[in-house]
């Protein structure tokens, strides 16, 4: 194992050159400064590229370079602590592999996706700030069994976080003021816990088959706070407040809603048009025109 130190250069490709020299287990330690070089591709497993001071090493695309980082390694790559801005495609793109780590980066003003987990399994995306992204998601998760934790997704054109692979978890994130959904899950078995989802323009959260949503704060979104569109979901302890449509909307079957709170939503606190759902222990305050609308069949409320 070795540490390879990198410093800014007015010419050349200091980060890419260091990464090309690195072997498995090495750390490329990037010092403060601006690095306008082309895309850095990490192709060797277990190589870490780390800014020595978080937020002080800047990958600058000048709106003329496609990507800041591309991960093609089989496993264990890490990108940590960078400011990444002004790219014409994705800020960070993971194209293959497992157990890659994207940590503590600020990604701003890319025309593609901020963080793109295109494929793979077991990735960790933690403590990133992704904003002003022009592509179809701030953070896109096509991989499976990955952890998306404590990120901020703000003012992006697409959903703040898009879960498109199976068995992923979104935990403790803030998704706000996106020009779409806060969190959109189109895959099975997503775990969505402890997120703050506010002021998004299409809806707060949309969840698919067998999704579990626990203790999320979903408020002041245009549209529904939470929409359950497929069967066998579980919602517990969520707060859905002050949304312009329904606090929690259930259009599918066999879901369970327990101990959620819906306040001051403009088109019912709870709406169930699906069948054979169960809801109990939920609380309602000040929703219009009434607290609950039930049009589906054989639903159990108590």
Asked if 237 and 256 touch (Cβ cutoff 8 Å), the reply is no
Structure confidence at residue 1 as a pLDDT band (50, 70, 90): confident
At residue 11, the pLDDT reads 82
Determine whether 302 is exposed, middle or buried from the number of CB atoms within 10 Å of its CB (0-12, 13-18, 19+).
exposed
pLDDT of 261-270, one tens digit each?
999 999 999 9
pTM: 0.97
Q: Is the dihedral of CA 145, 95, 151, 179 positive or negative?
A: negative
Domains of the chain, start order: 3-301 (2.160.20.10)
Per-residue pLDDT of 3-19, as tens digits, reads 999 999 888 899 999 99
Give the residue-averaged pLDDT of 252-267: 98
Dmax (CA) of the chain: 70
Of 78, 8, 16, the closest CA to residue 46 belongs to 78
pLDDT computed for residue 10 by the predictor: 82
């Amino acid at each position: 194992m070795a540490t390879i130190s990198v410093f800014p250069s007015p010419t050349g490709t200091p980060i890419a050159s260091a990464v090309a020299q690195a072997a498995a287990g090495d750390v490329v330690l990037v010092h403060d400064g601006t690095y306008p070089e082309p895309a850095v591709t990490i192709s060797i497993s277990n190589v870490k590229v780390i800014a020595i001071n978080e937020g002080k090493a800047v990958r600058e695309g000048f709106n003329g370079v496609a990507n800041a980082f591309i991960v093609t390694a089989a496993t264990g790559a890490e990108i940590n602590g960078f400011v990444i801005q002004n790219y014409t495609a994705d800020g960070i793109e993971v194209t293959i592999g497992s157990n890659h780590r994207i940590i503590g980066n600020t990604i701003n003003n890319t025309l593609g996706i901020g963080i793109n987990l295109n494929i793979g399994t077991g990735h960790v995306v933690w403590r990133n700030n992704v904003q002003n992204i022009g592509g179809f998601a701030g953070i896109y998760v096509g991989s499976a069994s990955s952890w998306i934790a404590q990120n901020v997704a703000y003012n992006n054109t697409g959903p703040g976080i898009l879960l498109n692979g199976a068995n992923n978890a979104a935990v403790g994130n803030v998704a706000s003021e996106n020009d779409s959904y806060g969190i959109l899950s189109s895959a099975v078995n997503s775990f969505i816990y402890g997120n703050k989802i506010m002021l998004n323009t299409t809806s707060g959260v949309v969840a698919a088959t067998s999704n579990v949503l626990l203790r999320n704060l979903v408020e002041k979104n245009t549209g529904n706070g939470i929409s359950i569109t497929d069967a066998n979901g579980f919602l517990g302890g969520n707060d859905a407040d002050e949304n312009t449509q329904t606090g929690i909307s259930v259009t599918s079957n066999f879901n369970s809603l327990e101990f959620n709170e819906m306040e001051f939503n403009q088109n019912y606190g709870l709406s169930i048009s699906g069948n054979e759902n169960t809801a109990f222990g939920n609380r309602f305050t000040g929703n219009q025109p009434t607290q609950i609308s039930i049009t589906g069949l054989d639903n159990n409320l108590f």
